[in-house]
Structure 1
Amino acid sequence: MLAATVAQFVVQSTASLQGTVTNWTEPLPGPMQGRASVIDGDTVEIAGQRIRFNGIDAPESRQYCNDAKGFDYPCGRRAAQALDQFLAASRPLHCSFVDRDRYERLVGNCNRADGRSVQKWLVEQGLALDWPRYSNGAFAAEQVSAKAARRGVWQGRFDPPWDWRAADAEKVETVSEQSTGFGLLGSGCNVKGNISVNSGEHIYHVPGQKYYTQTVVNPAKGERWFCSEAEARAAGWRKARR
């Protein structure tokens, strides 16, 4: 009975995070222009309307990537900050729409007042990825350029935003289990063993460290939990520097 309750809680929690698919029958609005407020690296708001850029995917606001030296940095926040500066240089923003997404946002192609494509610029700067699932490779050339020049996320190692969201959803499920008394945290095994996506180094994080909360343990990648620092060190993992 308790297991069923936990399962139901996890499903409800995950659904509330992922949103629900809405069948829209009303027509899409015509082109819109205005002063855009940045929500994150691939989403803006104009006059109270959320707009998701079509065909690209930027790191999430809480996402961290590895820089050229293998250190973590907030790539999601960096993308949003760079986008804000880019839009401020040539206002207003012009958008035309192709769809609505499951979060009720308009999905559109957007250009600055000077005609520059926002999506192309974001991908070219390595601040977002071409999302083949929706772009049909429209920004593949810009991505090749960014990767060759090691701009933005291409300077080091990173998880594509769609993979990061999937891992984050697993983390939410784990936290749901922990809230009911199950899971490794509930047993006192709260040391997170993480493998650096840049160097492959095995690093462990303990509660109170700077990146402990953001660190996700993915057993499929060889990562694991430890019940003590001594156990982690004995297994060949080193402590995170911060």
Structure 2
Amino acid sequence: MLKVCLVILSFVIVLPASADVMGRVRVIDGDTFDVAGVRVRLHGIDALEDKQTCQTEQGTSWACGAWVTSTVGTLFDGKRARCREVNVDRYGRVVARCSIDGRDVGQQLVSRGLAFAYRKYSMAYDLDEKGAAVNDRGLHASRVQDPAQYRATRAKGRIPPDRTCAIKGNITKSGQIYHMPGQRDYERTGINLNKGERWFCSEQDARASGWRKARR
């Protein structure tokens, strides 16, 4: 009798662990840092855009977005952070949970009323925001538009229609400048095709068309 032996091979798939980004912080805005030269978007929180305005209870407008950026800069610029990667977003930024001096940065910002819990992606800071709201801390003492809604109303021309052609060719007083995903002004730059602005699929294409790279 012929005996057939079956050998079953077992494969173990090892998934890469989330990476740590460690180094000194340069604050870009209320929820975005450069950490050791890596652009990091803080996970689970959402901060105002730099140009957003708010209203006091008396109806006076004030530059709350710029205030948030300045205040976060005062708190964290130059300090050493440790950031645990969660994922990478469509702009090429590392989305991460960061800590400074052993304290969760996202939690500090939400608790102080400098940012909001981004419940679409995480409920981690839900109670922190509720505590800040009850006590009128920071932005909760003013009338403020949800930053996601603010961005949505200004999204036209900012999101590439083709993800493989995501370089933004912007026309400014300084000339024709292209912005790469991950650069400082990439997200806030909108492309108006009627003005001659355009999308590029490669840096080579942009340079060949007479555009120069943005410095930051």
TM-score normalised by structure 1 residue count? 0.57
**Which whole-Å CA distance do the structure 2 matches of 1:77 and 1:51 have between them?**
19
1:3-82 matches, cutoff 5 A: 30-82=19-71
1:103-142 matches, cutoff 5 A: 103-113=91-101, 115-135=102-122, 137-142=123-128
SS of the residue 1:50 aligns to? strand
TM-score normalised by structure 2 residue count? 0.63
Say which one has the larger Rg.
2
Residues 27 and 77 of structure 2 are in contact (CA less than 8 Å); yes or no, is this contact kept in structure 1? no
Residues 70 and 156 of structure 1 are in contact (CA less than 8 Å); yes or no, is this contact kept in structure 2? no
Task: Give the Å deviation of 1:94.
Answer: 1.1
2:90 is aligned with 1:102: yes
Greater fraction of residues in strand: 2
C-alpha distance 106-171 of structure 1, shift in aligned 2 (>3 A): closer
2:134 is aligned with 1:145: no
Gaps of 5+ in 1: 1-25, 181-242
**Which whole-Å CA distance do the structure 2 matches of 1:96 and 1:177 have between them?**
39
Q: Give the letter aligned to residue 134 of structure 1.
A: Y
Percent pairwise identity: 33
Q: Deviation per CA, 1:148-169, whole angstroms, max 9, x where unpaired?
A: 1111221121111000001112
Q: CA RMSD in A?
A: 2.7
SS of the residue 1:120 aligns to? helix
Greater fraction of residues in helix: 1
Q: Give the letter aligned to residue 68 of structure 1.
A: E
**Which whole-Å CA distance do the structure 2 matches of 1:130 and 1:97 have between them?**
18
Q: Deviation per CA, 1:172-193, whole angstroms, max 9, x where unpaired?
A: 8xx959869xxxxxxxxxxxxx
Gaps of 5+ in 2: 1-14, 159-190, 197-216
**Which whole-Å CA distance do the structure 2 matches of 1:64 and 1:34 have between them?**
32
Task: Give the Å deviation of 1:45.
Answer: 0.3
1:160-239 matches, cutoff 5 A: 160-169=146-155, 176=192
Matched length: 152
